[in-house]
């Protein structure tokens, strides 16, 4: 089993590496407005959308107009989705006769899907109609992902352009992201999933009888189309409550492997797109290498912890060679579960094929820590790239202080304005990931949602708000999030974690685009070599990771030490 797991990891990583350049080059051509393979197919559709919406595709926007357009577009999506969820009992395509969502749950769900978080305080098949799943959630899976990609490309243009007062057009970038990248990939992925056995229909729920004679309701619906974009768009919200552990969402080992590959496919390729657009692919590979090192390190720790199992059970002789199989699908095992848990929290995906609540303390710490780093290890579609560039600016600034000269990146001076904006964005994550759980840990209205005692119970609370603020959406289980208090506070955390980071990064894009490009000199710190990769990783750990060490010490670290001492929770 160990050899098979290691082979699976190697094939996964090599496929991700091989697919990065072709997809990355294609996306660079899409955003540059060049002709490509799909132009004859979707070009007329793109022009029709511009005419229908009154968009001048040739007109670019300043960072302020780009930001206002993004906010208005997402605000409209939020209101529309909230309305669909509140009125679904009156709308068609509701064969199960499901009632409307409550106001607090509809607010939480609408914010969740608009922010590309896809946190689910509900069971999909028992709460949402087919129309809500398609016209509400699946639509937001596309446009929220496209929004993140547009923001990343706008920031890349800020570094690539010289003395410019514009960073592109939000509506054009979003349209192209959807038409040329997300939609074609999602169609191919949906057809693959249907082939593997995922439902794609409008049938009524099926009634069956178990071997014990009990009645069972089997949910149906247009699942394959939503699952395809939930993975490719790093959305993660499942059609069914068990998410990718459900056999209708993830029927075979092959579907499991390919769905897991979908999680990191676009985020990894966008880093290569960055290298193409700044005309120095070495810069893209440097970021890719930093992400790869962090990804492999996290996977190794998570897998080793899970394959070692619980030492208390091993000491008692309870199947010591099986590893920790609690909360995992037998058809996937420890290896595929650890790979998925690492990948889904490296990206802002949040889909799960096992229950993170049942991981060992250190195995569960890895997904938690991945999110605390800002999910820049490939990260969400677009969000991972602009989050990593945030850390790049901080790393270059620190390098400049060390060598005693003005920091530069890609020929652009990094000055006080850019550093201030990046630090403002960085301060959002501790607000949602530390302050909100701290408040929730002392309020009875919040602590009543926690299932377990001790450090494990605190980890459940910490994981929920970390997942929300990081726009991940995965849950630690054992935590009742569907209460008015939790739905509201988690919704606020999701909103802050998305837009209070995006706005400063767009301001950085505008600031960098206006700067002149300086020629490299002998004193310029190279940002494409191993030394910079090491510095960048160190900054991510120090600035991003150590902030949360006290919270981790109270949660999974304390639980691990207690487990070694023979105490469980």
Give one DSSP letter per residue of 173-203, joined into a string.
Answer: HHHHIIIIIIHHHHHHHHHHHHHHT--B--P
Helix then strand count (H, E) for the chain reads 25, 4
CA–CA gap between residue 15 and residue 463 (Å, rounded): 30
Which three-class secondary structure string do you get for 221-234? CEHHHHHHHHHHCC
Tokens found for residue 464: 């929920």
CA–CA gap between residue 535 and residue 540 (Å, rounded): 9
User: How many Cα atoms are found within 13 Å in the side-chain-facing hemisphere of 345?
Assistant: 33
Q: What does the pLDDT read at residue 405?
A: 76
Q: What does the pLDDT read at residue 322?
A: 72
DSSP H or E stretch at residue 302 = helix 281-308
- Helical axes 103-114 vs 139-160, angle rounded to 10°: 40
Residue 467 φ then ψ, to 5°: -60, -40
Tokens found for residue 140: 């937001």
N-terminal to C-terminal alpha carbon distance within the chain: 30
Q: What does the pLDDT read at residue 237?
A: 86
pLDDT in tens, the chain (569 residues): 688 999 999 999 999 999 999 999 999 999 999 999 999 999 999 999 999 999 999 999 999 999 999 999 999 999 999 999 999 999 999 988 999 999 999 999 999 999 999 999 888 888 999 999 999 999 999 999 999 999 999 999 999 999 999 999 999 999 999 999 999 999 999 999 999 999 999 888 888 887 787 888 788 889 999 999 999 999 988 888 889 999 999 999 999 999 999 999 999 999 999 999 999 999 999 999 999 999 999 999 999 999 998 888 776 666 556 788 888 988 899 999 999 999 999 999 999 999 999 999 999 999 999 999 988 999 999 999 999 999 999 999 998 888 777 789 999 999 999 999 999 999 888 899 999 999 999 999 999 999 888 999 999 999 999 999 999 999 887 889 999 999 999 999 999 999 999 999 999 999 999 999 888 777 788 899 999 999 999 999 988 778 899 999 999 999 999 998 888 87
List, in order, residues 6 or more apart from 203 with CB less than 8 Å away: 95, 220, 221
Q: What is the chain's length?
A: 569
CA–CA gap between residue 304 and residue 134 (Å, rounded): 39
Q: Which of 78, 80, 84 is nearest to 113 (CA)?
A: 78
Q: What is the dihedral angle through the alpha carbons of 232, 234, 238, 244, rounded to the nearest 10 degrees?
A: 70
Q: Indicate the pTM of the whole model.
A: 0.95
Q: What does the pLDDT read at residue 566?
A: 86
């Amino acid at each position: 089993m160990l050899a098979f797991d290691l082979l699976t990891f190697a094939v996964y990583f090599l496929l991700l590496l091989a697919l990065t350049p072709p997809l990355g080059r294609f996306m660079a051509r899409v955003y540059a407005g060049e002709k490509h393979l799909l132009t004859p197919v979707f070009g007329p559709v793109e022009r029709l959308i511009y005419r229908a919406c009154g968009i001048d595709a040739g007109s670019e926007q300043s960072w302020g107009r780009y930001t206002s357009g993004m906010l208005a577009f997402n605000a409209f999506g939020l209101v529309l989705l909230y309305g669909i969820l509140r009125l679904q009992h009156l709308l068609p395509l509701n064969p199960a006769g499901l009632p409307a969502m409550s106001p607090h749950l509809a607010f939480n769900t609408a914010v969740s899907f608009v922010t590309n978080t896809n946190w689910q305080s509900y069971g999909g098949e028992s709460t949402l109609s087919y129309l809500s799943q398609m016209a509400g959630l699946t639509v937001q899976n596309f446009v929220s992902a496209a929004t993140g990609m547009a923001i990343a490309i706008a920031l890349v243009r800020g570094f690539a352009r010289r003395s410019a007062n514009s960073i592109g057009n939000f509506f054009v970038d979003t349209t192209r992201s959807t038409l040329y990248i997300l939609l074609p990939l999602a169609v191919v992925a949906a057809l693959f999933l249907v082939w593997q056995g995922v439902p794609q229909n409008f049938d009524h729920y099926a009634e069956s009888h178990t071997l014990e004679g009990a009645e069972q309701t089997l949910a149906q619906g247009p699942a394959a189309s939503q699952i395809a974009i939930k993975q490719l768009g790093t959305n993660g919200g499942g059609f069914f409550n068990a998410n990718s552990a459900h056999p209708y969402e993830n029927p075979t080992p092959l579907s499991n492997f390919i769905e897991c590959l979908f999680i990191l496919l676009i985020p990894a390729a966008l880093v290569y797109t960055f290298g193409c657009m700044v005309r120095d692919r070495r810069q893209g590979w440097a970021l890719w290498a930093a992400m790869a090192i962090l990804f492999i390190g996290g996977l190794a720790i998570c897998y080793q912890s899970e394959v070692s199992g619980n030492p208390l059970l091993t000491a008692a002789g309870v199947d010591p060679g099986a590893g920790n199989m609690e909360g995992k699908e037998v058809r996937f095992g420890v290896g595929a579960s650890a790979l998925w848990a690492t990948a889904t929290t490296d990206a802002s995906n949040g889909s799960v094929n096992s229950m993170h609540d049942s991981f060992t303390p250190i195995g569960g710490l890895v997904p938690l820590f991945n999110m605390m780093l800002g999910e820049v290890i490939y990260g969400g579609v677009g969000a991972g790239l602009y989050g990593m560039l945030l850390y790049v600016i901080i790393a270059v600034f620190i390098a400049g202080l060390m060598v005693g000269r003005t920091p530069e990146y890609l020929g652009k001076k990094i000055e006080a304005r850019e550093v201030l904006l990046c630090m403002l964005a960085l301060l959002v994550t501790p607000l949602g990931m530390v302050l909100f759980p701290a408040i929730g840990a002392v309020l009875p209205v919040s602590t009543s949602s926690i299932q377990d005692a001790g450090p494990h119970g605190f980890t459940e609370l910490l994981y929920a708000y970390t997942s929300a603020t990081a726009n991940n959406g995965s849950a630690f289980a054992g935590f009742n999030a569907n209460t008015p208090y939790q739905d509201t506070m988690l919704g606020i955390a999701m909103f802050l974690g998305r837009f209070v980071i995006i706005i400063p990064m767009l301001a950085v894009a505008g600031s960098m685009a206006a700067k002149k490009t300086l020629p490299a000199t002998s004193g310029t710190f190279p940002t494409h070599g191993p030394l910079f990769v090491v510095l960048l990783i160190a900054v991510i750990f120090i600035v991003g990771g150590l902030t949360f060490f006290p919270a981790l010490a109270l949660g999974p670290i304390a639980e691990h030490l207690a487990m070694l001492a023979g105490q469980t929770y």
